[in-house]
Amino acid sequence: MSYKNFTLDVDADGIALITWDMPEKSMNVFNESVIDELGEIVGKVASDATIKGAVITSGKETFSGGADLTMMRRMLDLFEAEKAKDGQKAVQFLFDNVGRMTGLFRKLETSGKPWVSAINGTCMGGAFEMSLACHGRVAADSEKVKMGLPEVKVGIFPGAGGTQRVPRLAQPQESLQMLTSGQSLTPQKAKAMGLIHEIAEPAKLVEAAKAMIRNGLKPVQPWDEKGFKLPGGPIYAAAGANLWPPAIAILRRETYGNYPAASAILKCVYEGLLVPFDTGLRIEQRYFTEILQTKEAAAMIRSLFVSLQELNKGARRPAGVPDTKFKKVGVLGAGFMGAGIAYVTAKAGIPVVLLDRDQESADKGKAHSDTLISEQVKKGRAKAEEKEKLLSLITPTADYAMLDGCDLVIEAVFEDSEVKKVATEKAEAVLKSSAIFASNTSTIPITGLAKNSSRPKNFIGLHFFSPVDRMMLVEIILGKKTGDKALAVAIDYVRAIKKTPIVVNDTRGFYVNRCVLRYMAEAFQMLIEGVPAPMIENAARMAGMPVGPLALTDETAIDLAQKIMKQTIKDLGDKAVDKDQFALINTLVDKHDRRGRKNGKGFYDYPAKPAKKKLWPGLKDLYKQQDPDKVEIDELKQRFLATIALEAARVMEEGIVTDPREADVGSILAFGFAPYTGGALSYIDGIGAKAFVKIAKGLQKKFGGQFKAPKLLIDMADKGETFYERFDPYARQEAKEAA
């Protein structure tokens, strides 16, 4: 019998080698057809007396990324359609469907024949759950091999037996940490935890798996044998009493109750370990059905999986422009930002010319790459030869003639229009006419900078975030005259360096900085109102933000905030900046010389390591303090999320961002907007436009005009629309393709 996604070959010893290799897919995933075929294969292996056991491996470089979450989206769409007719029947439909993989894996491990998973590359989610259902697990000894159950990162949890098998194989504390964090495991770590049995040389992986079967691998899982004991002892043992209360407290501290899936994991493990294995699977299936119905799961799956993948694949790339194969990229300015851009470019295997005003400055910029890659080598994340190759791709220079032959030049010089003008003119003098020139600016409109160019259609903005090597987002800014080729090349480059591109039309602050400045401004306003600084920072983190707004201002520099305010007043007048907030920033910088982390004192004090930063005690002396017991913490949380979401809505109204996927993904990747909401626009959609406008009006009445809802939102509230309905990116794509 032939299969679409698998091949099955039986050797002379009667061992079946099942190779998973989905056609026209770069990575194997579990979809409806794979589940059906694997079920047939499990049945064949079980019923064929000539087959003694089975090894399953991948025909691709990676093993599998797990379940296809677009399949889950389709299932949820069917659920919603059914729910409109019969709610109880809809939930039963969902419960039955989420149990398909659970049933398949249980069928595999109770088939009476030994199964071994030969893990040759990345093995995540459902694929790792399948491997855990196999009686033996062998992983290749390679840096390419990573295993894990990362579902919690997209708002769900391992719902195909992961919460039941992991804690029956590994120690409970390690199990909970792995499941609730979604961490990846190396083969060595997985073996130490007891999640795999062997590590083999990549070339001998399948042979090692077959040897397990030849050597008499038992076709029974430990939990199916009489007398099975949990690795950490019973739940009600002394060790369990010491584990569970702190585990619940730690999860609460880390998530503030914002992630229902993380809480469900604890419940699944705790309740599941109290009962027989099959009952534990049913408990997991019930919780999984419940979590799938949450708005957090729907929003996170959409933004952090579906939309993120679509953007990474170039959803906004203009059609009809040939792909760019970069032979050489130039970076103007070897400061911290330019040096970081050079590093990620070279890491992608692209030769890069790093240019600065003199050779010493350029060499210093290259040294930054040396430091970064050396740290990776020291931590075992890169090899010495990789360091050598990366550094060989960076050519530091002070000679503009070296830019000859570049496909793309990225200007990252000092944030001054005149300096940028000189750099643009000197670079274009040696560039080929087809080359693209990009400016990495965070404050100066691209259309204005493009006036310095002799070919504005080839001029575009590339806004990186600091530190470049760690931040995964790049804003691509279109000037009024930017052409399709420039956009296509910019997207190709961002994808080549393995970052996520979002496309933004030109405006002051573009998209991300407009939202971030609102976040910071709301914190300044709270300080002025006398809200204690610790409450401000804690409320922001409780709302789901990874970094408090005062700490974030310190990181970006308080004197930079002062410069932005001064420039805004210069360009737009005194009323463009809140005078009280301007006075606060001036007091910190001019009176107290508190400029942020860079000079060791800002909103926080930064003592020498290992001491941790602490909020500056002097903050409470700047304004009369409110009684903390009378400050509504939920209101503070709401203010932070609402002020950012309102700015995102204004950006959509102005046509600065036109695709809600980009607004959502950008808000999460750039500054960590509460991921459980799915992003700034999904936050509004999740509440509903009508309810959100009502919240905004209440906040506006109490705290000021920053909470005024734009006309777009009021119109959406009246019509009962969501952003994904009003700005449906798929409808636009279909219309474009039809044309």
State the DSSP string of 60-84: SSS-B--B-HHHHHHHHHHHHHHHT
- pLDDT value for 722: 97
pLDDT at 668 over 90: yes
CATH fold label, 513-726: N-(1-d-carboxylethyl)-l-norvaline Dehydrogenase; domain 2 (1.10.1040)
Q: What six digits make up the tokens of 692?
A: 């959100």
Burial-class residue 215 by CB neighbours within 10 Å (0-12, 13-18, 19+): exposed
Has domain 329-508 been given CATH number 3.40.50.720? yes
CA distance 37 to 56: 13
pLDDT at 415 over 80: no
- pLDDT value for 352: 97
The half-sphere exposure of 431 on its side-chain side, counting CA atoms within 13 A, is 27
pLDDT tens readout for residues 20-49: 999 988 899 999 999 999 999 999 999 999
Local confidence band at 626 (pLDDT 50, 70, 90 cut-offs):
very high
138, β-bridge pairs: 118, 198
pLDDT at 730 over 90: no
The residues, any chain, with a CB within 8 Å of residue 282's CB and separated by 6 or more, are none
Q: Are 643 and 519 in contact (CB under 8 A)?
A: yes
Local confidence band at 732 (pLDDT 50, 70, 90 cut-offs):
low
pLDDT at 69 over 80: no
The residues, any chain, with a CB within 8 Å of residue 667's CB and separated by 6 or more, are 512, 515, 644, 648, 673, 679, 680, 681
353-362, 415-424, 492-501, range with the lowest pLDDT = 415-424
Type of residue numbered 432? K
CATH fold label, 6-293: 2-enoyl-CoA Hydratase; Chain A, domain 1 (3.90.226)
87-91, 142-146, 199-203, 379-383, range with the lowest pLDDT = 379-383
**Element spanning 698, H or E:** helix 689-703
Q: Which position has the higher pLDDT, 208 or 513?
A: 208
CA distance 187 to 586: 54
Local confidence band at 572 (pLDDT 50, 70, 90 cut-offs):
confident
- pLDDT value for 734: 61
pLDDT at 584 over 90: yes
Cα first-last separation, the chain: 43
- The gap from C-alpha 257 to its chain's centroid, in whole angstroms, comes to 20
Local confidence band at 737 (pLDDT 50, 70, 90 cut-offs):
low
Mean pLDDT of 345-365: 96
Mean pLDDT of 500-504: 96
* Domain boundaries defined on the chain: 6-293, 329-508, 513-726
Domains 329-508 and 513-726 alike in fold: no
Which residues are designated catalytic? 442, 463, 475, 513
Q: What six digits make up the tokens of 431?
A: 């560039």
Per the prediction, the chain carries an average pLDDT of 94
- pLDDT value for 736: 59
pLDDT tens readout for residues 108-156: 999 999 999 999 999 999 999 999 999 999 999 998 999 999 999 999 9
- pLDDT value for 416: 79
Residues of the chain above pLDDT 90, percent: 87
How many angstroms separate the Cα of 702 from the Cα of each of 114, 415, 624, 640, 647?
A: 67, 37, 19, 14, 18
Local confidence band at 735 (pLDDT 50, 70, 90 cut-offs):
low
Which string of DSSP letters, residue by residue, matches 318-344?
PTTPPPP--S-EEEE--SHHHHHHHHH
Q: Are 534 and 616 in contact (CB under 8 A)?
A: no
Mean pLDDT of 374-400: 93
Local confidence band at 560 (pLDDT 50, 70, 90 cut-offs):
confident
